[in-house]
A = this chain, B = another copy of it.
């Protein structure tokens, strides 16, 4: 088996993460930016003619550990928020989430219609849809790096991002259905669409209600178990079970992990802390600090810088990136409530990421009259947009949060 290669890959990734993170911090940036860039550099050494690290990118186990890392990261972020806090920002998050889908979708449609005039209207619809879903992993990590995970701004971003993902998924289902119907020359069938939407809604509402009822009972039982590491073990089992349930409902597993963390409140596991166990956040932290950097370095690894050589792709990518950034910053204006920075909310929702990639991948597989909806150069442009939005968010968000923190104080003096 390939275990030895995986071990070497992990050693390289962890060392790169810590080196890159340290350099970023010295430049006043969050550590996650350094991890991304370290992966990007290490993953593109092939352009300089050295392919000694190519095995890292191809290692399936490293990829899976990276996925586990982002799942545990969202679990930890959920642990640091509470359902009550999320409901408090609910209307604000609802406004931001809806705007955050509508504005990038509209702008993306227009941009695609201007730059790809020869393509069908359904392609423009599809390009617009790839711009909707926020990838909250990067933002969650930046907020954690800045010690802002529990702030009102963070809660609005996370709530809006959950909505985004659900709305984006609905959008993808609708657009895919339209394209498939157009390809068959048939009319759109509503039943499968409603089924997808229904599953997602049932999961989110059901998970929150059931989980809130189940979690205290589960952990009260678990507290009677003997042996070491029971709290961490049962909490992680709960996190993984919820992630699995989310993926069964057609949602991203990270949404389930976030919901699991959200449901678990310190009050549920007081029997453990009374027995001298550390709080759950403190137990999850070393596990996350091992696995999450793997995700960010690996994300950098998978970027193919050679795509940047094609000017047509770069032009399209620039337009998409502009639209992606603008759309979410405008959406941030919908935020309200005490202590919420509108600019920081908008900036925090800039990163696309795995959901955008999933969209683009679906597009590669769809065709109208034999022509793929998303061709190779459009796909490259989408990947580049994801890369740039991911790379610009850490410094921009750091700046926006610092500005928000300074602003009221300056006004107060």
Indicate with 1 or 0, residue by residue over A5-22, a CB within 8 angstroms of chain B CB atoms. 111101110110111011
Q: Are A253 and B289 in contact (CB under 8 A)?
A: no
- A31 to B226 CA separation, bound complex (whole angstroms): 9
The answer to whether the Cβ of A398 comes within 8 Å of any Cβ in the partner chain is: no
- A3 to B247 CA separation, bound complex (whole angstroms): 9
- A247 to B293 CA separation, bound complex (whole angstroms): 25
- Please indicate the chain B residues that have their CB under 8 angstroms from the CB of A7 in the complex: 71, 240-241, 243-244, 247, 253
The answer to whether the Cβ of A305 comes within 8 Å of any Cβ in the partner chain is: no
Q: Are A253 and B4 in contact (CB under 8 A)?
A: yes
Among candidates B11, B224, B237, residue contacting A241 with C-beta atoms closer than 8 Å? B11
Q: Are B228 and A31 in contact (CB under 8 A)?
A: yes
- A66 to B3 CA separation, bound complex (whole angstroms): 11
Indicate with 1 or 0, residue by residue over A165-185, a CB within 8 angstroms of chain B CB atoms. 000000000000000000000
Q: Are B227 and A286 in contact (CB under 8 A)?
A: no
Size bracket of the A interface? 35 or more
- Please indicate the chain B residues that have their CB under 8 angstroms from the CB of A265 in the complex: none
In the complex, the chain B residue whose C-beta lies closest to that of A145 is B228
Q: Are B233 and A3 in contact (CB under 8 A)?
A: no
- A349 to B225 CA separation, bound complex (whole angstroms): 30
Q: Are A226 and B67 in contact (CB under 8 A)?
A: no
Q: A11-B241, A228-B289 are in contact. Are A234 and B61 (CB under 8 A)?
A: no
Sample 8 A-B pairs with CB under 8 A, ordered by A number.
Answer: A3-B64, A5-B244, A7-B247, A11-B237, A11-B238, A14-B236, A18-B237, A22-B225
Q: Are B21 and A226 in contact (CB under 8 A)?
A: yes
- Please indicate the chain B residues that have their CB under 8 angstroms from the CB of A224 in the complex: 22
Indicate with 1 or 0, residue by residue over A222-257, a CB within 8 angstroms of chain B CB atoms. 101111111011101110110110011000010000
- A71 to B18 CA separation, bound complex (whole angstroms): 21
The answer to whether the Cβ of A290 comes within 8 Å of any Cβ in the partner chain is: yes
The answer to whether the Cβ of A287 comes within 8 Å of any Cβ in the partner chain is: yes
Nearest-neighbour CB distance to chain B for A286, whole angstroms, equals 5
